Amino acid sequence: MSVKANAPLGNKKEMCNLMEVFMKTRFAIVGIVIVLAVSLLTCELDLPGKGGGEEDLDLDWEFVDNPDGTAQLTLWLDGSTPVKATTANRALNLGIAKRSHDFFEAVFVIGDTVARSNWEIGQAAGIRGVTRGKTYHLAGGADGEALVLVGRKVGTGEGTLLGVGFMTHVDGKPIVSGTATPGTSSDGTVLSNTRSVTFTVSPVTTRVGYDFSVTDIDSTWGDTPGAAPVPPDTSYPKRDTFLTAAGNPAGTGVNFTNTLIGTATFKEIATYSMFGLLKYDDITATVASDTGGDYKPVQAIYKMGGFSLTGAEAASTGATIYTTPGVDLGALLYIADCDPAPSFQILERLAMYQALGQTHDVIEAPLDTVTTVHPDGAYVTASAAGETFDPVITLEFRVRPLSAGAFAFTFQIPVFAFEPDGGFPALSTNGGPEGIYWYIRPAHGQQQFLLDDGRSSGGAVLMGVGVGSLDWLEIIVDGFGFSGANRRPVTP
């Protein structure tokens, strides 16, 4: 696919500063559906406190919460006047929209034509210029491609990614393989009289360590977790976001068995998973060296969920065109360029947590200041600017002779939608805005640096080298005071 690169940015975006704000990757609404309607009209929204939904707002999109737990976003583009869906049983839940996602980007690409729009809650979407008579699904063989990205805005032209949507319906009819049945199914073509296209959004998810929402936390861990399923799941999902090879002295073989995991409880109410690493002398891996001196490597993975859907998962939307290939959303997200830092960044730091509304440092265990975390050699190559995003992040812990104590780590990587030309988002050809840089991160804002308890909004993983049970000391932190050199985006 051939696209044009963005022109030089007027205001450089602070894309790659690990001290910037981040967003939690747990998406409150699973299987959310976004509807994109193809025409141009002011939209009516049912907003709480706005006359029971009788007032017309000057917007060209509508967001509603459905009784089945999904949600829909309707955009009116250029074209004929649409038929509005009834809102009798679909009142907008503004709380869900604001708390979980408030920033959207829609992109349709076919050849050199790029129709794009982005908007926030309360703003008009204003998308136009989508080429008609073409197909935009992601099952292969389509004329073009289309994505909807959903998240939180964190700066001008920047957002933190919560979900990615792929086209599954045209005018409410599922896109099917083979010959479509008029009135029942669609071949995916967006015709001149098409009123709507539906994107099913796959939420970005993480499941780190134990699930502390159940009484028997041990039942939530392992290859075959025994905890009760949570509807609509038919089985309990594996909590395999973060696994290590630490239990094997050779430092290889990442799996549940080799992952050393325990719990740490603070203030008698805040409990977190703690992942262990053997001491340097207990590791038999071959000694290597870097600028920090000698170390022994220990393998690990951090897997971001929601980017790869099996055929069965994608086809469960009714769009049978995805039955065989499934959907690889990461393959349509390209890694942005950062200067001078690498695009994929990891930060090790003092572990922090929240309890009773206050932020505390973990200081009873010595702070490990020498153990470092890196993408392994293969992922260094895979995460270079211009490469597609691989959600299975392969890591290497470097345990050194003086490694001891506790620390936490977190990460971020900036991406944008669709294949670049020159390493930057494609320039809109419909008069729309520049492409958004979306950050893939485990958490939002200062919560990026708070410990992940596997159920709420923290984004840092608690690690310990040679650390057993701890007598945690209460320390109240009044402020963060983060500092660090800003990382500016490279401009063409």
Amino acid in the structure at residue 134: K
**Cα-Cα-Cα-Cα dihedral sign, residues 138, 239, 459, 354:** positive
Q: Which residue has better confidence, 278 or 63? A: 278
The pTM of this model reads 0.79
pLDDT tens digit sequence for 200-239:
888 888 889 998 888 899 999 999 898 888 676 778 889 9
More confident residue, 15 or 273: 273
Q: What share of the chain is helix, strand, coil (3-state, %, to 5)?
A: 10, 35, 55
In three-state secondary structure terms, 22 is coil
d(CA 280, CA 401): 5
- The whole-number pLDDT of residue 59 equals 55
Maximum Cα–Cα distance across the chain:
72
Number of domains in the chain: 1
Q: Give the N- to C-terminal CA distance of the chain in Å, as an integer.
A: 20
Res 226: pLDDT: 87
CA–CA separation, 276 and 21 (whole Å): 28
C-alpha radius of gyration, the chain, whole number = 23
pLDDT band at 21 (very low <50, low <70, confident <90, very high): very low
d(CA 133, CA 143): 9
The tens digit of pLDDT for each residue in 35-77 reads: 443 332 222 222 222 233 333 334 555 555 444 334 445 555 5
314 domain-assigned: no
Q: Assess if residue 109 is contained within a domain.
A: no
In a domain, 348, yes or no: yes
Q: Is residue 285 a contact partner of residue 250, using CB atoms and an 8 Å limit?
A: yes
Q: What is the pLDDT of residue 47?
A: 24
Write out the two tokens for 325: 């290939």
Position 357 scores a pLDDT of: 78
Q: How many residues does the chain have?
A: 492
Number of H helices, E strands in the chain: 3, 30
The yes-or-no verdict on residue 147 having pLDDT over 80 is: yes
| Nearest residue to 444 via CA among 97, 101, 30 | 101
Instruction: State phi, psi for 378 to the nearest 5 degrees.
Output: -65, -40
The verdict on residue 146 lying in a domain is: no
Residue showing tokens 């992942």 = 275
In a domain, 389, yes or no: yes
Q: Cβ(226)–Cβ(63) under 8 Å? A: no
CB 452 within 8 Å of CB 206:
yes
352 in a domain, yes or no? yes
Q: pLDDT digits over 432-448, tens only?
A: 889 999 999 887 667 77
Q: pLDDT tens for residues 162-185? A: 888 899 888 889 999 989 998 899
* Residue 402 lies inside a defined structural domain of this protein: yes
pLDDT, average across residues 360-365: 77
Range of the domain at 406: 217-304+334-418+445-489
User: Which pLDDT value is given to residue 43?
Assistant: 20
230 domain-assigned: yes
The average confidence (pLDDT) of the chain is 76
Q: What is the pLDDT of residue 325?
A: 84
Which residue type occupies 484? G
φ/ψ (deg, to 5) at 180 = -80, 150
